[in-house]
């Protein structure tokens, strides 16, 4: 593994020799913060609707069925997406010691992506949807996504092509898996025949359509919310901790095993369906095999902190990262368990699934995003306006996640057990569905409270970062970084 250095350069406080594109970083920084607020507000709103229906305002545009996809699209593609782009445009220029391949393509990517998000917000509330989960957007927007994605890919691989280093750092591998696989997933799942400007039919039908959809749906989790965030972790966590990454070899093994195994796991969304039995079994088996590769990432993150745990107590950025990586480890154990047929029989269609995805979304993606924003703010703006608020945000968010997940576990188990409860006479004990829904109301309120706390934390962050940016200060993209401990 001895890659010889061709361009020895001093690192650390030396003035960067490369003129990095900082404008695009700031743009994605802003977009990440703005869409975080929008997506999380929509989430808290729909959570309130489940606890207290009048919050749907009694008109079709703001009912749960239309706002829920708006929430998921906003947090996944707007908040998490912009977080990833922010991290990639910031870190890859530095990792590859080069400016992005093309500033024009960077700008096209940025504005194209934001317009796509706006288009989503202007179609979903009006009922324009493909009815595929996480692929709701109608075909004209899908084409726009494909175009913007190809532009991004050209810019991304172009930057790799013109890099000034030979070695590709592990973060870049993870970014590559993201750029390549999301393109394939998006295009294949959205192949459809338009019948009007707003309506199309998928070229697949029936079970095939469902299988393609969940091959996409599960790998959206894998290659949009997992691998790029692991790439971000591999850059920002050792940077923030100022420690060497625990194991290069672990990073190789868990990268390849992760991307190889993940792509097969989609059928676990279709257990006990009309999908052929063997495909269901394969989906479950590959999900179980995913535990160790997923935990490889968590291990490499947590073990990188060896010797820096004292700083985790004081550095809020590291706190966000530690909690994020821990939730990643928890969610990637919970997911495989839910893929086992009998467990799935209890969990499927219950709020347990909602709790599961939110330990990933709020814990892993959200906290990674917050950590990166707080890491970058002093490096972009030279300071943070209210450092104590970061700590408050961390605790609001953490307690919010715990309330969210515990209430949804409880709700999920409650309804899962009540649906199947059979009395001594052999009949359903709760034949009246509404009587079960009634029981969930308390949990819905607790979930709303947890989500609201998480949102309040995010609002504090946005306010803090706005004050930070408004206060000016000299841009200091390359804060001195002490030499890593040997």
Partner 1 sequence: MSKNTDEVLGHADESDGIEEYDNPLPDWWIGLFFLTIIWGVWHIADWHFITPTSNEAHYEAEMAAAAEQWPDLGKKAERDDSPETLALGKELYTANCVACHMADLSGGIGPNLKDSEWIHGGDYESVVNTLTNGVAAKGMPAWGPVLGPKKVAALASYVLSENTGEAPAAPAEEPAAAPEGGAEGTPTDVEAGPADGKAIFEKNCVACHKADLSGLVGPNLKDDEWIHGGSLEEIVATITNGVPEKGMISWKTQLSDEEIAAVAKYVFEYED
Binding site for partner 1 (CB under 8 A): 1-3, 5, 7-9, 11-12, 91, 94-95, 97, 165-167, 169-170, 235, 238-239, 244-251, 253, 257, 272, 277-278, 280-282, 284-286, 288-293, 295-296, 299, 303, 336, 425-428, 431, 481, 483-484, 486
Strand partners, 422: 428
Of 474 and 485, CB closest to partner 1: 485
Tokens of 348: 């499927």
Per-position DSSP letters for 118-169, written without gaps between them: HHHHHHGGGT-----TT--S-HHHHHHHHHHHHHHHHHHHHHHHT-S-SSPP
Please, which residue, 23 or 166, has the CB nearer to partner 1?
Answer: 166
| First and final C-alpha spacing in the chain | 18
* Shortest Å, Cβ 309 to partner 1: 14
Q: In whole angstroms, what is the distance from residue 236 CA to residue 257 CA?
A: 23
| Cβ nearer to partner 1, comparing 131 with 431 | 431
Nearer to partner 1, 182 or 230 (CB): 230
- Rounded to the nearest whole angstrom, what is the least distance from the CB of residue 111 to partner 1 in the complex? 27
Smallest distance, partner 1 to C-beta of residue 392, A:
30
Choice between 288 and 385, CB closer to partner 1: 288
Long-range contacts from 5-11, C-beta under 8 angstroms, 24+ separation: 6/165, 6/166, 7/97, 7/164, 7/165, 9/97, 11/481, 11/483
**Half-sphere exposure (CA, 13 Å, Cβ side) for 262?**
26
Half-sphere exposure in the Cβ direction for 177 (13 Å, CA):
26
Q: Which of 166/439 has CB closer to partner 1? A: 166
**Smaller CB separation from partner 1, 322 or 455:** 322
Distance of alpha carbon 327 from alpha carbon 350, whole angstroms: 20
Which is closer to partner 1, CB of 142 or CB of 334? 334
Which of helix, strand or coil describes residue 19? coil
Which lies closer to partner 1 via its Cβ, residue 336 or residue 450? Answer: 336
Any idea what DSSP says for residue 77? I
Core vs surface per residue 333-369: b (16+ CB within 10 A) or e: ebbbebbbeebbebbbebbbbbbbbbbbbbbbbbbbb
Q: State the Cα–Cα distance between residues 404 and 47, nearest whole angstrom.
A: 10
CB 411 within 8 A of CB 350: yes
C-beta of 438: minimal distance to partner 1 in Å? 17
Q: What's the closest the beta carbon of residue 177 comes to partner 1, in angstroms?
A: 18
Shortest Cβ 233–partner 1 spacing (Å): 12
> Cβ 298 to partner 1, closest distance in Å?
10
Cα–Cα distances (Å) from 477 to 26, 101, 471, in that order, read 11, 19, 16
Smallest separation, CB 437 to partner 1 (Å): 16
What span, in angstroms and rounded, lies between the C-alpha atoms of 405 and 459? 21
Taken in order 57, 63, 66, 70, the sign of the CA dihedral is positive
Give the integer Cα–Cα distance in Å for 411 and 183: 36
**Quick one: which H or E segment has residue 115?**
helix 103-123
167 or 311: CB nearest partner 1: 167
Q: Which of 196, 225, 180, 240 is nearest to 373 (CA)?
A: 240
Nearer to partner 1, 205 or 278 (CB): 278
User: From the CB of 453, what's the least distance to partner 1, in Å?
Assistant: 34
Residue placing its CB nearer to partner 1 in the complex, 296 or 412: 296
**CA within 13 Å, CB half, 238:** 24
Least distance between partner 1 and beta carbon 486 (Å): 6
Q: Give the nearest distance from C-beta 260 to partner 1 in angstroms.
A: 12
User: How far apart are CB 271 and partner 1 at their closest, in Å?
Assistant: 8
Give the separation between CA 288 and CA 218, rounded to whole angstroms: 14
């Amino acid at each position: 593994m001895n890659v010889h250095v061709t361009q020895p350069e001093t690192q650390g406080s030396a003035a960067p020799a490369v003129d990095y594109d900082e404008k695009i970083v700031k743009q994605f920084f802003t977009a990440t913060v703005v869409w975080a607020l929008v997506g999380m507000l929509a989430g808290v709103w729909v959570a309130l609707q489940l606890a207290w229906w009048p919050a749907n305002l009694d008109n079709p545009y703001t009912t749960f069925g239309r706002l829920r996809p708006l929430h998921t699209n906003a947090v996944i593609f707007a908040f998490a997406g912009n977080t990833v782009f922010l991290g990639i445009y910031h870190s890859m220029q530095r990792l590859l010691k080069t400016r992005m391949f093309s500033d024009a393509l960077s700008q096209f990517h940025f504005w194209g992506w934001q317009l796509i998000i706006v288009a989503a917000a202007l179609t979903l509330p009006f009922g324009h949807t493909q009815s595929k989960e996480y692929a709701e957007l109608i075909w004209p927007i899908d084409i726009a996504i494909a175009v913007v994605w190809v532009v991004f890919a050209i810019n991304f691989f172009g930057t790799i092509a013109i890099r000034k280093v030979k070695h590709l750092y592990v973060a870049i591998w993870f970014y590559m898996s993201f750029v390549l696989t999301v393109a394939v997933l998006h295009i294949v799942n959205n192949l459809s025949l338009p019948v009007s400007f707003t309506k199309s039919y998928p070229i697949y039908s029936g079970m095939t359509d469902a299988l393609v959809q969940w091959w996409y749906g599960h790998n959206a989790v894998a290659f949009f919310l997992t691998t790029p965030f692991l790439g971000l972790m591999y850059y920002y966590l050792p940077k923030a901790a100022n420690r060497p990454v625990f194991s290069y070899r672990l990073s190789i093994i868990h990268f390849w095993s992760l991307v190889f195994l993940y792509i097969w796991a989609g059928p676990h969304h279709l257990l006990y369906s009309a999908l052929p039995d063997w495909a269901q079994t394969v989906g479950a088996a590959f999900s179980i095999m995913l535990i160790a590769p997923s935990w490889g990432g968590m291990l490499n993150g947590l073990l990188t902190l060896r010797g820096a745990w004292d700083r985790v107590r004081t550095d809020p950025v590291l706190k966000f990262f530690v909690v994020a990586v821990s939730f990643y480890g928890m969610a990637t154990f919970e997911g495989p368990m839910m893929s086992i047929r009998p467990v799935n029989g209890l969990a499927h269609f219950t709020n347990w699934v909602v709790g599961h995805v939110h330990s990933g979304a709020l814990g892993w993606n959200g906290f990674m995003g917050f950590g990166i924003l707080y890491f970058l703010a002093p490096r972009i703006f030279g300071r943070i306006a209210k450092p104590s608020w970061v700590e408050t945000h961390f605790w609001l968010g953490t307690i919010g996640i715990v309330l969210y997940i515990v209430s949804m576990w409880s709700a999920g188990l409650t309804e899962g057990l009540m649906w199947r409860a059979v009395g001594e006479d052999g009949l359903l004990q709760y034949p009246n569905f509404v009587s079960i829904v009634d029981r969930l109301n308390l949990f819905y309120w607790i979930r709303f409270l947890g989500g609201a706390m998480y949102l309040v934390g995010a609002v504090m962050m946005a306010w803090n970062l706005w004050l930070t940016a408004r206060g000016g200060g000299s841009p200091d993209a390359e804060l001195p970084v002490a030499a890593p401990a040997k």
